[in-house]
Amino acid sequence: MLEYYKLILTKVSFNKELFEKELNKAVKMLSPNENANLEKWCLTKFRNPYQRTIENVFLRNKIPDFNYKKHNDIAQGVM
Domain chopping of the chain, boundaries: 2-75
Q: Do residues 42 and 54 touch, judged by C-beta distance below 8 A?
A: yes
pLDDT tens for each residue of the chain, 79 residues long: 999 999 999 999 999 999 999 999 999 999 999 999 999 999 999 999 999 999 999 999 876 554 545 545 555 665 5
C-alpha distance from residue 22 to each of 28, 43, 47, 73, 75 (Å) = 10, 15, 16, 40, 40
